Structure 1
Amino acid sequence: MSGHHDVHSGLHSEHGALTGEHPGRARNPVIKVLDLAWLEFEKPDLDAAETFAHAFGFSTAARTPDELQLRGSDPGAPCVLIRRGDRSRFVGPAFKAAESADLLRLAEASGARPAPLPESLGGLTVDLVDPSRLRVRVVADTHELAGMPMQQPHVLNFGHEVLRTNATQRPPRVPARVQRLGHVVIQSTKYRETLDWYLNNLGLIVSDFLFYPGQRELGPVMSFIRCDRGSTPADHHTLALTLGPSNRYVHSAYQVSDLDALAAGGEYLLDQGYHRSWGIGRHIQGSQIFDYWRDPDGFMVEHFSDGDMFDCTLEPGWAPMTASGLAQWGPPATKDFLGIKPGAESAREVRSIVKALREDNEFDIRRLRGLLKVANS
């Protein structure tokens, strides 16, 4: 069909920017962060949070009556910090600075002051607020947890290449062992302003842009953003931003060793009565094998494996956003994953749409039409 774009035709969007479109990076950012350090949440029930975390594949790094620190098997800081609160909420991400001098540079540019982190974490933080009113920490010199034994990938026979002989393959139904925090996805009513804030202040660079079908001239509505480590490859996205009617957490993702760990770990989660949101499949942007779950507080979390790694030389790809374009293979994206499943979450989003259309932000009636077209695609 003439003019038809096949969303499954490439792992990295094969079409680049048109003249005048967003370059996907800042010319002179304040600093360049190395990675996500951790994510912070508040939840009323730390016991339920810890039980799910162990089933999902985290280990407990530290536990007090009012705080839970969860880690993967890789060395470094904990992946997730959960503090006791009256209600469940996402507090914000923490990014790892390349060196402590970057905190001083960031503090001078922002007017914020470096402050010591709790002794359990060590080091310093500069706390900022992005245009979506999300608290963003940039940290340095934190304590480094030693690595733990990792879940070994399985030895596979590929076609006629036989690497396993006289040995069976029996992955046990046990929790997939989380290796590390991979990325977080945030929705914003001020997508473009928020995107530029992260590029200008933290030196992140865009791997892929998505736009609503038929609305490319209005600009992108989602970006998959990676750390700029120069010639050292980084995850296809450490942060993903998407335009929407409310400012909220969408999901976070945690790497496991391989497909067998992900799939057998998923069977274990099902056996424990937890809810799969969507999976198993393989994404297009980023190429990850994925499996999405809901924790007891309704937060969406993802197991992933085999993601793309890009260095600083790759320019952003551009592609239309469609529900069918979220995966190369796997089941169709569920209503739960898309946020349109009848229930409390979708009801909140409907109220957010009504509110957003009354306010001065980037989510207007044209963008609503584009979003509805994506949801029905």
Structure 2
Amino acid sequence: MQLATAQPARHPDPTTKATALAYLIFDRPDLERAARFLDEFGLRTVSRTDDALFLRGTAATPFCYVVRRARAARFVGFGLQVRDRAALDALARLPGASAVESSAWPGGGWRVRLTDPSGFRVDAVCGQTPVIEWPHRAPLPFNSVDTVVRVNGTQRPPVCAPDVIRLGHLVLELADYQATCAWYTQHFGFIPSDVQVLPDGSPAVAFMRLDLGDTPADHHTLALAQGFAAVYSHSAFEVVDADAVGMGQRMLQQGGWKHAWGIGRHILGSQVFDYWHDAEGDKHEHYCDGDLFTADRPPGIHAISREAMAQWGPAMPKSFTKPRMTLPAILALWRNLRRSPDVSLKKLKTLAKLFA
């Protein structure tokens, strides 16, 4: 399939190469309600003040989720880990970047604060003090027709919130799609794994992975989707196996939280997934068994549709991609139709029809 418009492509000489998705930053008016969802989702609080909440998974990272007390709820941005201080020095020379500064957040280290072309805050971080990995249950042994590994034993996973191992990926919707994709490939070395395109060949979603060379990287750490405004779509957190995904569904149902979509298996990335809304309606995903690619794998090009989102499981509901048409959203739509080269009524109508 030929592309009618430029797609995200690996940059020949990026400013640096990110090595991990470090954390997410949210503003919330009610820290207690935010904490209840995240605890029942499987994250654990490591630090709390009157104004901020820091949470982590079982992996050896100081934290992966920040909640700041604020009057209005919003997604602020995220952190990307880079290799060393030299990488921070290079990023600090970019237009609008902060100087290299010490971080007072758990784990300490150094950071540079940037703003991407869509207005999201991006922290480049390095030098955090590692923490001890917390234990989590082992994956359940799985009998198949060809291999028997469990005899005289049963499957009884604990009835509790699943242990989140780590923050896996982030998905954002954008008005300025091309400029934002190019910014991440140029300055953080992201590589497109798969690109979904509209019927005319123009790109609509880029699933982008870290460039870790011969070390396998997640199919996507950052996915960027064409929309009419810059908004958070969802974030995803890895759990140990499909039973943990299922147990997460049970516990979140019991907690009274709103289900978004699942359980199913994605096509691009292959993850077994389940999505839930937090207290403010933002989507959070449990997943396991994702694809891993080395840096030399070329990108794939695919037609976009609701059917292209999952191999099995319930069809993606219309509500999953339906925008919240608040007054700020309507104003952003009007503004971006006039100023963004990537937003047009024709493109938005096509996207709406494909996901109707």
**Residue 128 of structure 1 is aligned with which of 95, 108, 114?**
114
Distance 1:330 1:23 in 2: 30
Alignment of 1:75-154 (within 5 A): 75-110=60-95, 112=97, 113-118=99-104, 120-154=106-140
Q: How much does 1:136 deviate? A: 0.8
Q: Which amino acid aligns with 2:342?
A: E
Per the alignment, residue 356 of structure 1 pairs with 336
Deviations 1:272-325 (A, max 9, x none): 111110000000111100000000111110001000000100111000110111
Greater shift, 18-27 or 120-129, is seen at: 18-27
Alignment of 1:255-266 (within 5 A): 255-266=238-249
**Residue 37 of structure 1 is aligned with which of 22, 36, 50?**
22
Deviations 1:10-45 (A, max 9, x none): xxxxx6x66995462001111001011111111111
Q: Which amino acid aligns with 2:205?
A: M
Q: How much does 1:151 deviate? A: 2.6
Distance 1:21 1:119 in 2: 39
Q: What TM-score do you get using the length of structure 2 for normalisation?
A: 0.95
- SS at 1:221 equivalent: strand
Q: How much does 1:351 deviate? A: 5.7
Alignment of 1:167-316 (within 5 A): 167-212=153-198, 214-216=199-201, 219-316=202-299
Structure 2 gap ranges (5+): none
Q: What TM-score do you get using the length of structure 1 for normalisation?
A: 0.90
Deviations 1:242-289 (A, max 9, x none): 110111111000000000011012111101111110000000111100
Structure 1 gap ranges (5+): 1-14
Q: How much does 1:354 deviate? A: 4.1
RMSD over aligned Cα atoms: 1.8
Q: Which amino acid aligns with 2:38?
A: A
Distance 1:127 1:193 in 2: 19
Q: How much does 1:369 deviate? A: 2.2
Give percent identity, aligned residues only.
38
- SS at 1:40 equivalent: strand
Q: Which amino acid aligns with 1:47?
A: E
Deviations 1:217-246 (A, max 9, x none): xx2111001100000010100000011011
Would the aligned equivalents of 1:233 and 1:311 in 2 still touch at CA under 8 Å? yes
Q: How much does 1:337 deviate? A: 1.2
Aligned residue pair count: 354
Would the aligned equivalents of 2:3 and 2:203 in 1 still touch at CA under 8 Å? no
Greater shift, 306-315 or 106-115, is seen at: 106-115
Q: How much does 1:107 deviate? A: 1.4
Distance 1:330 1:354 in 2: 36
Would the aligned equivalents of 1:43 and 1:89 in 2 still touch at CA under 8 Å? yes
Q: Which amino acid aligns with 1:289?
A: V
Q: CA 1:119–1:174 in 2, change beyond 3 Å: closer, same or farther?
A: closer
Greater shift, 24-33 or 119-128, is seen at: 119-128
Distance 1:372 1:62 in 2: 42
